[in-house]
Amino acid sequence: MDARPEPLVSPDGRQVAYFSRGYACVADIAAGKSRQLIEVPGTWSHVYAKSVDPGDLDSLDHPVTAKKYKDLYRDVSQRIADFQWTADSAAIVYSLSHEIPRKELDSHVTQVHVWRMPLTGEPKEIASGDLSYSGRRGPGGVITRDGRFLVNNSGRDRALIWDLATNKPRATPFLNLTPSPTSGRWLCVEKDTRQLVVVDEGFQVIARHDEIVPKSDYGFNMIWSPDERFVFWRQQIGVDYYSNWDGCRYDLVTRDRQIFTGSYMNEAIIFTGHRGEFLRVGASGIQGPGQGLTVREQYVGLVPDGRVHMQRFWHHTHPTGQDSMVSRPGGGSQVLWSPDLQLFTIGLARPQGPHGAVMHLADRHRHLWRLPGEETEDYVSPYQVAGFALDGESIISYDKSRLFSLPVSAIKAAENKLR
């Protein structure tokens, strides 16, 4: 849980940011060159790197016994969270949290410091404060496009807008703040009226809809289409994360609504940008008595505009009577899309051997390629995927000791093609 955060490809697809050996780093993907931006002491990455013998610095993949882990863990004093790029790809932002003893209460208080690290220039602390005991609220979250606020939206009743100019929270009369993929506006639910409203970059209401979003006692999420015309919200039915859901695609112009259902709340919903068309990456099956879903089918499909029926361009059906429990939708893990939404990576379950997935590249025409590399016994093999870069021409991948770029053209070589 204290491992370095996963590498992040910049919004422009030209850089990748990551933490390595206790440093925040950035790599120029096209040039293949990386550099350290700032040391982040006391984090797990920093403590772990210091435990490696100087002669083994080329690899951090070294065994750690349970006792050694406990000894190292005692030295971890800070934890990294909220790791993200700014919208202009000019800086990375992250928060560091650490506990401070409070002798008078015989307890601890968690302090949070949020840093902005530009690719050129000096780092700057942009917010700091304590996490409250009620709801664990404090500075952190997603930085807005104009860099004025941090939005913490960890739950419907925990939305928090942190003003960076005053370093204080501001009144937040909204639930489920959902950013526009293309502008600084937000779509949200007004607390008092439960109406669907659109707010500007300063969080002032600029449009109001009579549509009343249902109240959910369990999970709830909402996404906004790139053209800001359609919204898709869904609510979890049941108390556990593996529960099924029902939802609605709502047209903000015509106010037409279409109802959808799904078997797995963690199903991914992605608008393509072509009117109300969206992608579904999920699983269907039977809710089991324990924690999980007895899977009958896993799929990646497209719901065209104006129709409910999903067109599957990848699916796997499990034989009747064969139980298969999944913790992530889409056949395994790391279903990531190219910028034009024509290619995606997907982890397909191993037919035999250790539990886990093997990474593949697929397209919307049902072509499938195995990502090159030697099979390992790791849960995800042969390596993890961070995302597409260079306008979809490369895939950024990483394992325990390397961060590297794979040209899509090389992955599509004949020896890797499965169908």
Least confident of 38-52, 135-149, 245-259, 323-337: 323-337
Task: Give the pLDDT of residue 136.
Answer: 56
Q: Is the confidence at residue 103, as pLDDT, over 80?
A: no
| pLDDT band for position 411 (cuts 50, 70, 90) | very high
Residue of 7, 25, 93, 84 whose CA lies nearest to 389: 7
Tokens 């100087």, residue located:
54
Residue of 272, 262, 177 whose CA lies nearest to 225: 272
| pLDDT band for position 319 (cuts 50, 70, 90) | low
Under 8 Å between Cβ of 21 and 401 = no
Task: Give the pLDDT of residue 109.
Answer: 78
| pLDDT band for position 135 (cuts 50, 70, 90) | low
Residue of 23, 29, 24 whose CA lies nearest to 10: 29
Task: Give the pLDDT of residue 299.
Answer: 85
Pick the more confident residue, 55 or 265: 265
Least confident of 90-104, 105-119, 158-172, 314-328: 314-328
Coil vs helix vs strand at 386: strand
Q: Which residues, other chains included, contact 344 with Cβ-Cβ below 8 Å and sequence gap of 6+? A: 300, 335, 336, 337, 338, 361, 362, 363
Pick the more confident residue, 221 or 292: 221
| pLDDT band for position 106 (cuts 50, 70, 90) | low
Task: Give the pLDDT of residue 413.
Answer: 95
How many C-beta atoms surround the C-beta of residue 146 within 10 A?
10
Task: Give the pLDDT of residue 21.
Answer: 86
Q: Is the confidence at residue 331, as pLDDT, over 50?
A: no
DSSP string, 316-377: EEPPTT---B-SSSSSSS--EE-TTSSEEEEEEEPSSSSSSEEEEEEETTS-EEEPPS---S
Q: Is the confidence at residue 65, as pLDDT, over 80?
A: no
Rounded to a whole number of angstroms, the CA Rg of the chain reads 22
Work out the percent of the chain whose per-residue pLDDT is above 70: 85
Work out the percent of the chain whose per-residue pLDDT is above 90: 47
| pLDDT band for position 301 (cuts 50, 70, 90) | confident
Q: Is the confidence at residue 58, as pLDDT, over 70?
A: no
Q: Is the confidence at residue 317, as pLDDT, over 80?
A: no
Q: Output the average pLDDT for the chain.
A: 85
Q: Which residues, other chains included, contact 171 with Cβ-Cβ below 8 Å and sequence gap of 6+? A: none
| pLDDT band for position 1 (cuts 50, 70, 90) | very low
> How large is the average pLDDT for residues 368-384?
90
Q: Is the confidence at residue 145, as pLDDT, over 90?
A: yes
> How large is the average pLDDT for residues 53-79?
72
Structure confidence by residue, pLDDT tens digits, 226-243: 999 999 999 888 776 667
Task: Give the pLDDT of residue 323.
Answer: 47
Question: 0.85 exceeded by the pTM?
Answer: yes
Under 8 Å between Cβ of 397 and 332 = no
Task: Give the pLDDT of residue 232.
Answer: 95
What does DSSP assign to residue 417? Answer: B
Task: Give the pLDDT of residue 325.
Answer: 46
